[in-house]
Structure 1
Amino acid sequence: MKKLAPRFVALFALAVLFASGLPAVSSAATPAVVKLTVHYQRADSEYTGWNLWLWKNVTTGTDVDVNKAGVAFTESDDYGKIARLDIDGMDKFENIGIIVRKGEWVAKDVSADRFITKFKEDGTAEIWLRQNDPVIHYEKPTGAVQEAAGSKLAKLYDSADFAAKYTYTGSDLGNTYSKDKTKFRVWAPTATKVDLVTYANADASAANGSLTAMTASVNGTWIAEMAGDKNGLIYNYRVTVSGTTNEAVDPYVRATTINGVRGVVVDLDKTDPVGWSTKKPAFSGKPTDAIIYELHVRDLSMDASSGIPAVHKGKYSAFTQLNTTFNGIKTGVSAIKDLGVTHVELLPIFDYASVDESSPTFNWGYDPMNYNVPEGSYSSDPKNPTARITELKAAIQSMHNQGLRVNMDVVYNHVYTASNFSQELIVPGYWFRTDESGNLTNGSGCGNDVASERPMVRKFIVDSVKYWASEYNLDGFRFDLMGLMDIQTINEVSAELKKIDPTIIIIGEGWDMGTLPAELRANQKNISKLNNVAHFNDQIRDGLKGSVFTPADPGWATGKLTARSDVTAGIVGNTEYSIDMAAKWITQSPAQSVNYVESHDNLALADKITASVKGVSPAGIAQLSHFATSVAFLAQGVPFMQAGQEFLRSKNGDENSYKSSDEVNSLKWSTKARNAATTKYFQGLIALRKAHPAFRMSTTAAVKANLKFIPTTNDVIVYTLNGKAVKDPANLIVVIHNPNPGVTSVSLPNKGKWSVLVKGSIAGTKAIETLSTNKVSVAGQTTMVLTQ
């Protein structure tokens, strides 16, 4: 086996040298028009997707982009690729900024911005650029292109030798507490020295920390042990790599000081609230039996109309307040229970970095800091390391007591700031993906992508979800940007969670987002390789309401009848239903399709309808909301909704409210009072779905055998469900969705007596009316459901 340690020192030294910037050279005068020629050379001669981003640069004033789409290389020579262009108006600017990028910022060749500062008297400028070389050459350089230090380091981390020598499989990373002693183990294979640093209190300076030398142990881990009862001990690690010492929070820590800056040892048995129980609400474990309600912790209680006392507003404790009302209308957890959903999915509740816990403001929380610690801004006392743990457990227990299961939104695909993340400080370069130039990849759009495919990153992710599922008695997980993660990691997560609780459900965003080889991505295209995992179905979402990226674009439910095929694909859960079904991605079963028309991302449905339907009235918004939601909720798959959708929640047109005010984001329970009919419609749809297994088939075979579309000529969607075959109370169910603005007549498959369960603005399990006919009239942009 190769000895790896000596190579680390050299590689880290190279990385530091490579990262050092070079000063820009000023030019005496800039010509009005610059005729620019750029030569670019890559060691691998692979130029596909690479282009130039240029801007006219000025120290004081506003820079101007040269081309919003980037500048392509159009010629070749023995050096490499060539781009030529004229840039006018340069006499008002000092120099030209230049970046070599791949595609739309998938990668950059060298991370620093560079500037062209030398121009000839005739206005021409010719430069030569080389892969991984930060220097702009004004004469053709000689010598071979060098591989970036960061790229070399990544290859070393990805090597079989490194994995064999430094993959630790034990279950004791972090601190292991007992009354007699506490053990510490941290994975730091590149370190030459690691100290355990402890503090007398949270405010103690770093200089006043007490150091305990840790001992190198197996597989790159370091260990230490402290005798006595260390419950409440404040600690960090100081790790020395290549002569540089960083202090970092224990990545596996389960409690921290305020704002997550130092770890804390806790006796978890003492954090259980009164009445804590591992018993959960009854649930079959079949994802198609779930109805998921997405909710932000602050949104539940911040508005004055929540009826929740001020001391609990924006806190975990708001979930323990029951029987709250506004003008006699149920609010809070009691309202969610009354709606009939099965699972409450909480936006990130782990410790995130974008909010000061001492002065909380709103943020969605997709900014991970300490993965195994609850967010402190939702606690009654963020300075108390255990308060947030106990209060979150109490919130979960309260929902369990009301028959509501609880899912957690997790964000393992990126972190808030890569350079300050604990794992990066402890093992530089291991936690994140880099491109061939050694720069961090950015498929997430957040500045970094977590390298889930590396063994110790994978282990951390699996260990983390196991901890949350076990310690907090959680019932499911939603993976943010799952498509950025690798298939093996997600399958290991699924397998381990099912060992803890077979009824746990796992969903995620399966968008196709670069930075991994296509065959390894845990995305929609590869869902056949994922076990017991569902993805959000953007095909039925956009089919029903229009593109989420174009506010004015309508969908099939709001007037764009050409989107019909996207809707029918979603109705069968994007299963391999038939060769005529235009599914953009294929599930293995309807249990893999999360059907929805609203989530925290993009416009709320009511706002989308307002933006895409000209002159729509308040009554029209309600009707179209009923219509679009009914299609998604009755489709085969896993129905999902955003909190407040049941009473026409609006964010005043804010399509990205991740850090907007509580005024924008909070649930306005007073709106529920005004839109009681919509809430009742949602309750009816949910009750109908729960009462009829025909809407909840769990296999592709069952869907193909028992769901049959009836051909129509006017864009109406009509299908039947064979209830008898799936032990439904109804022998036959007919579902009719009429997208036309006017009434349409539909022939029923059988004569005889029909019970109408959904019609117009009414839905439920009791017959609205009974008909003896083989033809019905369905109002425009409404759903009708009949049973026989």
Structure 2
Amino acid sequence: FKGLDNSTYYALEPRNRSRYANYSGTGNTLNANHAVVRRLILDSLRHWVTEMHVDGFRFDLASILSRNTVGEVVANPPVLWDIETDPALSGTKLIAEAWDASGLYQVGSFFGDHWKEWNGRFRDDVRGFFRGDEGHVEKLAARFLASPDIYGGQGREPEQSINFVTCHDGFTLNDLVSYDEKHNWANQEENRDGSDYNLSWNCGVEGPTDDPAIEELRNRQIKNFFTTNLLSLGVPMLVMGDEARRTQHGNNNPYCHDSELTWFDWSLLDKHAGLRRFVKELIHLRLSVAFEVPGLSLSALLHAVPVHWHGVKLNQPDLARHSRSLAFSADVFQYGWHFMFNAYSEPLTFQLPTLGDGQPRRWRRLIDTYRPSPHDFAHPDEAEIVIGSDHVVQPYSTVVLVAERVPR
């Protein structure tokens, strides 16, 4: 477009019109709110929907679309208003990465009613909790419930929050638990490219290892991430290959590679068949249990289905900065659910609740990420009955209990 009309198609520096404004991190930025560029964007989207039958779009660095022709952030960006109100796009899914490369961060405040948002705080806070960082217990509680601190006051449904732990950018899930630092030397930029803020933990050894204890811990952490993502309120987003521990060998910015570094190694399906089975069972559970009610806002849902918070002791959640454990229970559609998270390096004993209706129910252990496959996940009618009034949760583990259906 430079040769057609440089100042129309690209955002330029206000004080030096010979230089491109770089809100994208790639050297230039489309001048999205210019009338000509808006027309180009809308025509392109309509073509993909009407001719190619694409049913949705995810907008990379979508907050750039909030900037006017001189780079200022505006409250009602014309291009976003056009996309929001276009009849041809009314049935499509619109997902925003609600930030840009120049520091603009709009998670929870992105324009429009039609848009859903990548919840970057879900990614960061879930990573931080299971890494054992301080001050993350209360954050985990909010992220698990579709982030009411971000979206609860907007009258929006839980689906507003697109929850994810990994995406196409950054570490794969395997590398998130295998590397403390990025290893981008193969990109030939002296390891300068790619983010240094990964919130990763290598579990004791940098990179691949034959130590069975470290491998068990890494598998456990990966199952913790999958369990939290797939069972949280909101819309879970997964990255292809994470279910088989696909690795990029610590490279968190492999955009420039078309090689074995980024290709999918199909032998991983057999090597990590137990993890793949675990993820398949979680997806089946997610689809079979209606955690959300269509048309009900997040605040209304949380009011209709009260959540009871606990620590290792009932009704006493430990929200101190040093705390690394959390539990909560809720009744959903005649079932009782109880979640226990332990991000400590030692086992913790959690008291188990009696359910609010006063009728006796027996807890069954549905998920225990500490246990090896296939004992880490059991169907509700086959799950082992938990005996006693408390339950031990092993280090860096998640346990999910389900109560039997109330007899009628």
Q: TM-score, normalised by structure 2?
A: 0.75
Do 2:158 and 2:298's aligned partners in 1 also have CA atoms closer than 8 Å? Answer: yes
Q: Deviations over 1:306-340 (max 9, x none)?
A: xxxxxxxxxxxxxxxxxxxxxxxxxxxxxxxxxxx
Secondary structure, counterpart of 1:594 in structure 2? strand
Paired letter, 1:563: H
Q: CA shift at 1:556, angstroms?
A: 1.5
Which residue number in structure 2 is paired with residue 556 of structure 1?
A: 129
- The equivalent residue for 1:534 is 116
- Give % identity: 20
Partner Cα distance (2:228, 2:244) in 1? 17
Deviations 1:33-81 (A, max 9, x none): xxxxxxxxxxxxxxxxxxxxxxxxxxxxxxxxxxxxxxxxxxxxxxxxx
1:603 and 2:212 aligned: no
Q: 8 Å contact 1:753–1:773 — kept in the other structure?
A: no
Structure 1 segment 7-86 matched on structure 2, within 5 A: none
- Of 753, 758, 777, 2:392 maps to 777
Letter in 2 for 1:558: R
Selected match of 1:737 from 341, 349, 353: 341
Q: Is the 8 A contact 2:163 2:237 kept in 1?
A: yes
Q: Which residue of 2 aligns with 1:639?
A: 236
**Structure-2 change in CA distance of 1:585 and 1:700 (3 Å):** closer
Q: Is the 8 A contact 1:483 1:513 kept in 2?
A: no
User: For 1:646, what is the secondary structure of its paired residue?
Assistant: helix
Alignment of 1:72-221 (within 5 A): none
**Which position in structure 2 is the counterpart of 1:490?**
80
Aligned partner of residue 246 in structure 2, secondary structure: coil
1:473 correspondence with 2:36? no
- Cα deviation for residue 677 of structure 1 reads 0.7
**1:543–1:664 distance in 2 versus 1, CA, 3 Å:** same
Matched residue type, 1:708: V
- Supply the AA of the counterpart residue of 2:95: I
Q: Give a deviation string over 1:178-221, Cα, whole Å, max 9, x none.
A: xxxxxxxxxxxxxxxxxxxxxxxxxxxxxxxxxxxxxxxxxxxx
| Deviation of 1:500 (Å) | 5.1
Give the equivalent residue in structure 1 for 2:350. Answer: 746
Q: What is the match of residue 432 of structure 1?
A: 10
Contact residue 591 and residue 699 of structure 1 kept, 8 A? no
Structure 1 residue 720, shift from structure 2 partner: 2.4
Question: 1:695 Cα deviation (Å)?
Answer: 5.6
Tell me which residue corresponds to 2:99. Answer: 511
Taking the aligned partners of 2:297 and 2:40, their CA distance within structure 1 comes to 33
Rate the CA distance shift 1:491–1:585 in 2: closer, same or farther, 3 A.
farther
1:452 to 32, 38, 53: 32
Q: Which amino acid aligns with 2:384?
A: E
Query: Match of 1:708?
Result: 307
Count the aligned residue pairs. 338
Which of 640, 643, 648 pairs up with 2:245?
648
Distance 1:559 1:433, change over 3 A: same
Aligned partners of 1:609 and 1:624 also within 8 Å: yes
Q: 2:125 aligns with which of 543, 547, 553?
A: 543
Greater relative contact order (Cα < 8 A, sep 6+): 2
Residues 433 and 709 (structure 1 numbering): CA distance in 2 closer, same or farther, change over 3 Å?
A: farther
Q: Is the 8 A contact 1:510 1:536 kept in 2?
A: yes
User: How far apart, in 2, do the equivalents of 1:666 and 1:558 lie?
Assistant: 28
After superposition, the Cα gap between the structure-2 partners of 1:723 and 1:759, relative to the gap in structure 1 and judged at 3 Å, is same
8 Å contact from structure 1 (residues 754, 787) kept in 2: yes
Give the one of 721, 745, 755 matched to 2:330: 721
Query: Which structure carries more strand by proportion?
Result: 1
Cα offsets for 1:653-700 (capped at 9, x unmatched): 111010123200011110111101110111111111111112677621
Q: Deviations over 1:530-574 (max 9, x none)?
A: 2221222221212222xxxxxxxxx21122243333322311222
Residue 759 of structure 1 pairs with residue 332 of structure 2: no
- Superposed, 1:403-442 pairs within 5 Å as 421=1, 424-436=2-14, 437-438=16-17, 439-442=19-22
CA apart distance, 1:453:
1.4
Flag the 1:707–1:455 CA change in 2: closer, same or farther, 3 A.
farther
Q: Which entry has the higher C-alpha Rg, 1 or 2?
A: 1
Shift of 1:599: 1.2
Instruction: Report the CA distance between 1:643 and its aligned residue.
Output: 0.7
Distance 1:764 1:703 in 2: 28
SS of structure 1 residue aligned to 2:141 = helix
Amino acid at match of 2:348: T
Q: Once the 2 structures are TM-superposed, how far is the Cα of residue 749 of structure 1 from its aligned partner?
A: 2.5
Quick check: 2:136–2:324 contact (8 Å CA) kept in 1? no
Q: Distance in 2 between matches of 1:775 and 1:639?
A: 30
Task: Pick closer, same or farther for the CA change 1:771–1:663 going to 2, 3 Å.
Answer: same
**Which residue does the alignment assign to 2:138?**
565
Instruction: Give the root-mean-square deviation of aligned CA atoms.
Output: 2.6
What is the distance in 1 between the residues matched to 2:145 and 2:79? 28
Distance 1:430 1:590, change over 3 A: same
Q: Find the aligned partners of 1:472 and 1:430 in 2 and give their Cα distance.
A: 28
Displacement after TM superposition at 1:584 (Å): 10
Moved segments of 4+, more than 6 Å:
584-587
Distance 2:265 2:292 in 1: 31
- Structure 1 residues 749 and 624: alpha-carbon distance in aligned structure 2, compared to 1, 3 A threshold: same
Alpha-carbon separation, structure 1, partners of 2:217 and 2:402: 27
Checking the alignment, whether the CA contact within 8 Å between 1:525 and 1:586 is kept in structure 2 is no
Question: How far apart, in 2, do the equivalents of 1:707 and 1:513 lie?
Answer: 39
Aligned to 2:400, the other structure's residue is in SS state strand
Q: Which amino acid aligns with 1:699?
A: S
1:787 and 2:367 are equivalent in the alignment:
no
1:371 corresponds in structure 2 to none
